[in-house]
Structure formats: structure tokens, C-alpha cells
Amino acid sequence: KILSTIPNIPHKDVPIGDNENDNVEISKSGNIPSFDFKPKTHYELGEKLNMLDFDLATKTTGSRFVFVKDKLALLERALSNFMLDKHVLTNGYKEISPPLIASENTMYGTGQLPKFENDQFEIKFDENTDRKFLIPTAEVILTNIVKDKIVDLKHLPMRFVASTPCFRKEAGSYGKDTKGMIRQHQFYKVELVSIVEIDKCLDELERMTNCATGILDDLGLPYRKMILCSGDMGFSAEKTYDIEVWLPSENKYREISSCSSCSSFQATRMKTRYKNNNKETLHVGTLNGSGLAVGRTLIAVMENYQQSDGSIVIPEKLRPYMNNLEKISSN
């Protein structure tokens, strides 16, 4: 039981540090927009358009939920479909539409349990089955596709992508980002997962991160790439890059993707192995990354493409997914 609470060991490339203040910027990309007016927040824009409704969601459900309506709902769907198409058709991922509920054992396999149980939504199922949880990320269910398997070397690398709702209690974030869509109990995310030979992990991490930043390049959104320090990394990760997108209303960068190599940490818990060319049996390497968080990409498009009259110009790459609509405005 004690062993199950010990995290992965950081890779030697990872900077030593205590928290997010010790993360290191690797690169910046794109042009930060300059406005001749005070840029509004995404929730001011959305409420003025009558297309984001937080009050209604509080009434029907509770805090940290939202109704996305009308053309903004279309924009959210367009983002998800654009990301999926790019990852499948260009980046070589296989699309999966997975279950949104995971067993206790599945959650253990990727490292969500036992350490982060307080952040999970457990659901009541039959009395006689093991415990079940709503997925906090599609990483959980996609990575476990290879659970208890000896994978044939010729099938590696495996690359999966899914667009799913994700569910998190956001325990420990009380008072943070209480307004708007930045931190919600339910949000859409396009998730990338790779299963690779153990010595290919770091190369795959670079490739995966480039797949994620490629979406931001296509959308013309300014961002920076960070390497996380040892104190800010996830439980299962050996090395993590965060991609942060520019939000004009906050005048700063905010996380929109996290891409991690987990080395053999999850594979050991899931008992997933492969035989290499020397016929040695080894644990696979697993990686996961957001490609991207859809809600936060929606926020970034709204804020970076806003006009002085409160309308939002649609990035060109998304227009084919939106009946060639060029702009969202209230009329």
C-alpha cells in the first residue's frame, strides 16, 4: 500500500524545484495580439453574446458548470472535430470512442488511485461490482487498452486519440478561477496516448508535444512551451512539457496542454510488456498529452480573436467546420 503512493522518478533532464515558479520556459511562439481597446474576458464576451450561461448551470447543476449555446457550442464542436481530424489524418493517431467510466483497477493502472481519490467522481453502480469512477481524462481509459498484455513489437508504437468529456472535483483549487470556464467539473478534452518501446519515450514526447503545439500554430494562437520542475510534475510522469496559451484578459499565459512521458511507471502497474529484438521481455513506455483541452482552446480563440464590438472572428482553419461562418456576433 505504501509503494502505491510513491510517484515516478524524474528524468535527469528535469529541473529541480518546488512548484510552478521553478518551471523553465523552453520557447515562445506566435504573435501576441495588440488591441486598441481593453480586451474582455471570455465570460464577459460569452455573456454579452448570450452564448455562455453560468447562472443557469448553477441553477440546474451547481458551480463550475456552464451552458455553452448557439454559435459558441458550434465553435466548441468545431474545435474538437478539427483537432481529431488533424491528429488522425496528419499525425497518425487512431481515433477511439471509449467508455467514460473506469474501474478502480483501471484508475490504479494510470496512477489516479490511490493518491488522487479525493479529486475523482465515484459513481454508485451495482452493489456487487468493484468501484467505478467517471474518467478525469481519457488518458485513463486509453492507456489501459493494453493492460495485462504482451504487445507484439511490430504493433509499436501505438497511438490513440479520443475526444471526451472529463470529470474532476478540482479538490484543492477552492477560490481559484471561480469565474468562467478555466476550471470546471466537466470539460471536453482531446487526449493523445502513445504506447512505445521503453527507449523511445523521450523521442515520442517531443513528437507528441509537436502534435499539440501544431494545433495552436494552425489556429494562430500565441503560446509558450515550459518544462515542469520536479515539484510540479504529475504523479506518474518522468518528464512533462506544459504548453501555455496567451490570454489577453489576464495578460499572461495559461496552461492548455500537458504532455508527459511516464516511462514504464504505468506499464508496471498495468502489467503491460513487449519482447524486444533480443527476445527480452520489458515493460512498454506510456505517454499522454492533451491535444488540446477544448474548453480552454475555446477561451483562447474568443479572447485572442475578439473585436471591439464584442464579436469574435473565426480562425480560418475552423471555418469549414462551421458552415463557413467568419464571425460570431450577437445579431
Q: Which residues are the active-site residues?
A: 168, 183, 255, 258, 296
Query: Phi and psi at residue 46, in whole multiples of 5°?
Result: -65, -40
Query: Phi and psi at residue 282, in whole multiples of 5°?
Result: -130, 160
What span, in angstroms and rounded, lies between the C-alpha atoms of 255 and 258?
A: 7
**Contact by Cβ (8 Å): 258, 242:** yes
**Contact by Cβ (8 Å): 195, 272:** yes
Q: Which of 95, 54, 45, 93 is nearest to 72 (CA)?
A: 45
Alpha carbon distance, N-terminus to C-terminus of the chain = 59
DSSP letter for each residue of 139-201: HHHHHGGGTT-EE-GGG-SEEEEEEEEEE---TT-TTSS-SSSSS-SEEEEEEEEEEE-GGGH
Query: Phi and psi at residue 58, in whole multiples of 5°?
Result: -60, -40
**Contact by Cβ (8 Å): 117, 168:** no
**Contact by Cβ (8 Å): 299, 181:** yes
Q: Which of 314, 331, 219, 50 is nearest to 323 (CA)?
A: 314
